[in-house]
Structure 1
Amino acid sequence: MARMVRFYEHGGPEVLRLEPMDLRPPGPGEVQIRVKAIGVNRADALLRSGTYIENPPLPSGLGLEAAGIVEALGPGAQGFEPGDVVSVIPPISMARWPAYSELATFPVEHIVKHPPSLDWQVAASIWMQYLTAYGALIDISKLSAGDFAVVTAASSSVGIAAIQIANMVGATAIAITRTSKKRAALIGVGAAHVIASDEEDLRSRLFDIVGLDGARVVFDPIGGPTLEPLTSAMSKGGILIEYGGLSPEPTPFPLFTVLSKTLTLRGYLVHEVVSDPLRLAAAKQFILDGLNEGYLRPVIARTFRFDEIVDDLSP
């Protein structure tokens, strides 16, 4: 028996319910952990509201990130022992393997022994942000020293992760945020330049920074009208990775800019990396190296107790 957060209807945070559940033991190839901390992601809110790429039957659990102590191993789950301190790589289905629970079960390949220097909160915040940014910037775009990396929604966890990863490989991170209120914080996490898009002309500021040669890599979860100034400041043969659609406005396709610069505009999901064992192994090593060497430093915006989660996530 363990307490678990579930929802019986789609809606805002008020639909969440914290209730006791009789949980099944881990199945073949699964590991059950006693959860010490969980991460809260936009994907969790999308699942709860019925607008996520996964649409499970109700009632459903939710949550993608956790850190804790190995409680039990299912048949065939190797490489861990009860008592091991671990964190969780987000699974493909949060409904099948939900993290918002005192006891949670995950596939063994999604369990990682995290560095002992990390506390529970930091350990639970690692994988979604750094895997998402790594997959786009390193695995797909091959970001390297000398490149410019334009990062929109830069103050988000994935945006901060992208800035840190750019610095780790010697690239120059250009952070785009709406207002200058977050400028100092973004400089503090490693942005070389910050553009406040509601206060400055995005196109001209980008050209001021990157020059006529342009930026090779753009990492964007917004879409909408900003796609046009972003692509206009890209280099020939550049790549724009789109990993979200936060803009409520239509996203015009910049056809002539794409043609004249032979640009690649690519949709991306972190599942591409998570579902490929070889790519995931490379990602794990890169991220663990970055944590151990101090390049990657998760920023925790807020913490709260599990038994207050329903109240704290409500308006």
Structure 2
Amino acid sequence: MARLVQFDKLGGPEVLTLRDVEVGAPGAGEVRIRVDAIGLNRAELMYREGSYFYEPVFPSTLGYEAAGVIEAVGEGVEGFAEGDPVAVVPSFLQTDYGTYGDHVLVPASAVVLRPAEVDPVSAAAVWMAYVTAYGPLAESGHVRPGDHVLITAASSSVGLAAIQIARHIGAIPIATTRGTGKKQRLLDAGAAHVIVTDEEDLPTRVKEITGGEGVRLAFDPVAGPGVETIAQGIAPGGFLVVYGALDPRPTPLPNARSYPALSSSTYTLFEITTNPERLRRAVAFVNSGLASGAFTPVVDRTFDLTDIAEAHRYMATGDQVGKIVVTVTHEDAPRP
């Protein structure tokens, strides 16, 4: 038996229940992982609440990220063996798989080997954040050394990963935060400039920082009407990439009547993680940064799996800077 977090109806953190469930052997193309740490993502809160882009099928588990050790491999799986330290990359629907548990089944295509020097807590904090930022900042070719990049809601794990990736490729990261409480932490995390949007006019500050030119790329998880303000700080020919929907209101499309010519698009990491060749490049890029020390996942706080509801409540406050990770305590006796 395994302990899995499940829920039977939409709602707040209180709907999450830790249950004993039979996991069984991995099927064709699957592996079973003994989980040591789980990375939390806002997508999972939205999924639990019913505001994600697909609906749960009850009883539902959830979770996109984890780190642990391979326990068993299914038919046709190559490149993994029992005992391998691994991490799970988000590349599946939570209606099919979930990582909130102490022993879970996941598709082998969503698993990457974990470098020996990367501990489970750090590994659980890597892939959603760094692959999300990797696509628009590193793979697209939009950002070049010396370019300014605007990273909104920058205290999230994705925002902090974007700061590190921007610096790694020689760009200049400009971070935003609503209040002053996180400003110094963002500067300490590598942001070249921090704009406090509750106190400063975003387009004006961007133009001051960039000498009137504007940023080459704006990377935004909020969406909603605020993209019109962001667009005013983008240089002619620049790019607006929206990768989230924290603001549920409609998102207008910036147009040439009001702003300089720019390209706007939406983006999700699934564009990378469901394409084997693009995922291979992303894994190589991120692992190289981890090995060199250029990339260091920021973990804000850890919770035990038995406190999963409290972990969700904490994420909902928005007070964290970096990743929230859930750790798993295993019994000494092996599970069947």
Cα distance in structure 2, aligned partners of 1:313 and 1:263: 37
Query: Conserved in 2, the CA contact under 8 Å of 1:14 and 1:314?
Result: no
Partner of 2:104, secondary structure, is strand
Q: Which has the higher contact order (CA 8 A, sep 6+)?
A: 2
Amino acid at match of 2:41: N
Q: Normalising by structure 1, what TM-score?
A: 0.95
Q: Report the counterpart of residue 221 of structure 2 in structure 1.
A: 221
Q: Report the counterpart of residue 67 of structure 2 in structure 1.
A: 67
Aligned positions of 1:186-197 closer than 5 A: 186-197=186-197
TM-superposed deviation, 1:55: 1.2
Partner of 1:303, secondary structure, is strand
Q: Report the counterpart of residue 281 of structure 1 in structure 2.
A: 280
Partner of 1:301, secondary structure, is strand
Q: Report the counterpart of residue 265 of structure 1 in structure 2.
A: 264
Assess, with a 3 A threshold, how the Cα gap between structure 1 residues 248 and 47 changes in structure 2: closer, same or farther.
Answer: closer
Q: Report the counterpart of residue 158 of structure 1 in structure 2.
A: 158
Amino acid at match of 1:243: Y
Assess, with a 3 A threshold, how the Cα gap between structure 1 residues 167 and 312 changes in structure 2: closer, same or farther.
Answer: closer
Assess, with a 3 A threshold, how the Cα gap between structure 1 residues 314 and 256 changes in structure 2: closer, same or farther.
Answer: closer
Q: Report the counterpart of residue 291 of structure 1 in structure 2.
A: 290
Cα distance in structure 1, aligned partners of 2:131 and 2:206: 27
* Structure 1 stretches of 4+ moved >3 Å: 248-253, 310-315
Cα distance in structure 1, aligned partners of 2:255 and 2:47: 33
Deviations 1:95-119 (A, max 9, x none): 2110001111111122111121122
Q: Report the counterpart of residue 306 of structure 2 in structure 1.
A: 307
Deviations 1:124-162 (A, max 9, x none): 110000010111212235322111110000001100010
Partner of 2:265, secondary structure, is strand
TM-superposed deviation, 1:180: 1.6
Cα distance in structure 2, aligned partners of 1:55 and 1:314: 21
Cα distance in structure 1, aligned partners of 2:41 and 2:289: 22
Cα distance in structure 2, aligned partners of 1:247 and 1:311: 23
TM-superposed deviation, 1:5: 0.2
| Structure 2, unaligned runs of 5 or more | 315-336
Deviations 1:75-96 (A, max 9, x none): 0111111011111111221221
Assess, with a 3 A threshold, how the Cα gap between structure 1 residues 257 and 194 changes in structure 2: closer, same or farther.
Answer: farther
Number of matched residues?
314
Q: Report the counterpart of residue 20 of structure 1 in structure 2.
A: 20
Amino acid at match of 1:272: E
Q: Report the counterpart of residue 52 of structure 1 in structure 2.
A: 52
Partner of 2:150, secondary structure, is strand
Assess, with a 3 A threshold, how the Cα gap between structure 1 residues 308 and 213 changes in structure 2: closer, same or farther.
Answer: closer
Deviations 1:160-185 (A, max 9, x none): 01000000000000001101211111
Query: Conserved in 2, the CA contact under 8 Å of 1:231 and 1:257?
Result: no
Sequence identity of aligned pairs in percent?
Answer: 44
Deviations 1:158-213 (A, max 9, x none): 00010000000000000011012111110111100000000111111111011232
Amino acid at match of 1:236: P
Cα distance in structure 1, aligned partners of 2:313 and 2:217: 37
Cα distance in structure 2, aligned partners of 1:20 and 1:304: 19
Q: Normalising by structure 2, what TM-score?
A: 0.90
Query: Conserved in 2, the CA contact under 8 Å of 1:65 and 1:89?
Result: yes
Assess, with a 3 A threshold, how the Cα gap between structure 1 residues 266 and 313 changes in structure 2: closer, same or farther.
Answer: closer
TM-superposed deviation, 1:256: 2.8
Q: Report the counterpart of residue 3 of structure 1 in structure 2.
A: 3
